[in-house]
Amino acid sequence: MLKTLSGRFLILTSVFVMLAEILIFVPSIARYRQDYLIDRLERAQIASLALLADDMLSSDLEQELLENAEVFNVALRRDEVRQLMLSSEMPEPIDATFDLRDPSAIELIRDAMARLVDPDPKVIRVIGSPVRQAGLLIEITMDTADLRMAMIDYGLRILILSAVICVVTAGLLFLAVRVLLVKPIKGVVGYMQRYAAAPEDARGIIQPSAGVVELREAEEALQKMQTELTQALRQRERLAQLGGAVAKVSHDLRNILTSAQLFTDRIETSEDPLVRRLAPKLVNSITRAVSLCEGTLAFGRAEEPAPTLTVFALEEVVCDVVDSERLAVGDANLRIVDDIPEGLSLRADPEQMYRVISNLVRNARQALLANPRPEPGMPEIRVSAGEDGHCWWIEVADNGPGLPAKAQEHLFTPFQGGARKGGSGLGLAISSELVRGHGGMLMLKQTGPEGTAFHIHLPKGDGTL
């Protein structure tokens, strides 16, 4: 009970209501004491009026008047003369005097609390103003025993009423919390449990229905999260299926390419100068295709294979990429520039670097051919590189129209970062993963109307080649 939301609300409500009742009780009991004393003053004034009407009252009648007024003595000041109107023997001396003509609230509360906690009966003098201006003041002496008992009785009635109010208020709040908060929260928890049991089932996605603004915001946030997670799970399932299909295709394609590789050995013996010049490039392309198929099969089992680090001349790899892309360009109005410093070598996996640079150049070529520049000037792709004491860098830049905003938002995410219609976005995702495998970083350096540039950063590590 104490650990539930409704139970804690019930306890807190009871505590707060009782605190409020205590704050009400103190001034109430002070007010009751004041009214009690004023009532005794009025009774004593009425008794004194009987004496004024008849100066010859018997002692028995005078005692009866005092008993009815519940006082010992009555003194009335009229015309600046103080007269002892009624008197009787007092059991003990006067303990304190209280003036009710113009008391402050603090004084009333202080005197009431002092009388409530003092169990010993005392004789007190009370001074007040006569009703209907029947004199200047009236004084009485009285015992506090009946006053204290009356205050205790009144206080008990106040406390009982407070307890009833507390129980009723706490019960109503308990029911309100159960209906307005606990029940909707349990509904949200139920949706979460059903969704956790079958996240692929769209029927488990919550439908916001709460009337409380905060709960509705929580339901809407949960709905958004469940929807995105369901889509991610479906995409992951499709990727798993696609990975299985690609692995099968890669297996058969590797066998086909291996056979083609055997035929290229005969092509190399041709006497045709053009064939002899292009044959090595064909052999390299088929070799890379075979390696890619083997890598795809390995990727289906685990992750991208770790790079085999060797020292190689970057210019040779970039030349192979540029030559292949120039063949793909054909007669199109597009220039691909190789701007690699002569003799620049780096320590990396040459096959993986070929794939990274090839993906970047291919993406730039497809973007330029699909979106030709409106202003004069030939579309151009430039591959440049350099090094310093800490890293090597490679840059692939074009002077195209730039990447759309949607492509920039999910640039390196598979199946979401495609910049052209029908693109899968796998090229950049694979390239980024390969560069990270070298401890480096692939980043978008700039994009816009002036063109797009991707920057490859490869750390040198210990600085040795």
Q: What are phi and psi of 22, to 5 degrees?
A: -65, -40
Mean pLDDT rounded to a whole number for the chain: 78
Residue of higher predicted confidence among 403 and 134 = 403
**Which residues on neighbouring strands pair with residue 124, listed in sequence order?**
96, 142
| Nearest partner of 115 among 142, 91, 138, judged by Cα | 142
Tens of pLDDT, residue by residue over 4-26, are 766 777 777 778 877 877 788 88
Strands 441-448 and 94-99: unpaired
Over residues 61-103, the pLDDT tens digits come to 667 777 777 777 777 776 665 666 667 777 788 888 898 888 8
Q: In what order do the strands lie in the sheet with 81-86?
A: 81-86, 73-78, 137-143, 123-128, 94-99
Condensed to tens digits (0 to 9), the pLDDT of residues 425-443 reads 567 888 888 899 889 999 9
Q: Which of 177, 173, 114 is nearest to 144 (CA)?
A: 114
Tokens of 188: 């949200």
Task: Give the per-residue pLDDT at 252.
Answer: 58
The whole-number pLDDT of residue 458 equals 94
CB atoms within 10 A of CB 265: 10
Report the Cα–Cα distance between both ends of the chain, in Å, rounded: 70
How many angstroms separate the CA atoms of 370 and 364, rounded? 10
The residue with tokens 């004496």 is 51
pLDDT value at position 206? 82
Task: Look at 87-96, 149-158, 194-203, 440-449 and tell me which has the smallest mean pLDDT.
Answer: 194-203
The CA radius of gyration of the chain, in Å to the nearest whole number, is: 50
90 touches 125 (CB < 8 A): no
Residue 454 DSSP SS3: strand
Confidence class of residue 220 from pLDDT cuts 50, 70 and 90? confident
**Which amino acid type is present at position 122?**
K
Give helix 5-53 / helix 105-117 axis angle, nearest 10°: 100
pLDDT tens by residue, 328-383: 777 778 889 999 998 899 999 998 999 899 889 988 888 888 776 655 678 899 99
Single-letter code of the amino acid located at 278 = L
Higher pLDDT among residues 190 and 436, named by residue = 436
**Mean pLDDT over residues 22-33, rounded?**
85
What pLDDT does residue 443 have? Answer: 92
Rounded distance, CA 223 to CA 287, Å? 49
C-alpha–C-alpha distance, residues 447 and 444, integer Å:
8
pLDDT at 51 over 90: no
CA distances to 23, 90, 217, 220, 296 from 184, rounded to whole Å, are 35, 70, 12, 13, 49
Instruction: State which amino acid sits at residue 209.
Output: S
Q: Judge contact between 259 and 290, C-beta under 8 A.
A: no
B/e letters for 268-301, b = 16+ CB within 10 Å, e = fewer, are eeeeeeeeeeebeebbbbbebbbbbbebbeebbe
CATH 3.30.565.10 fits 307-459, yes or no: yes
Q: In what order do the strands lie in the sheet with 335-339?
A: 335-339, 380-387, 391-398, 451-459, 441-448
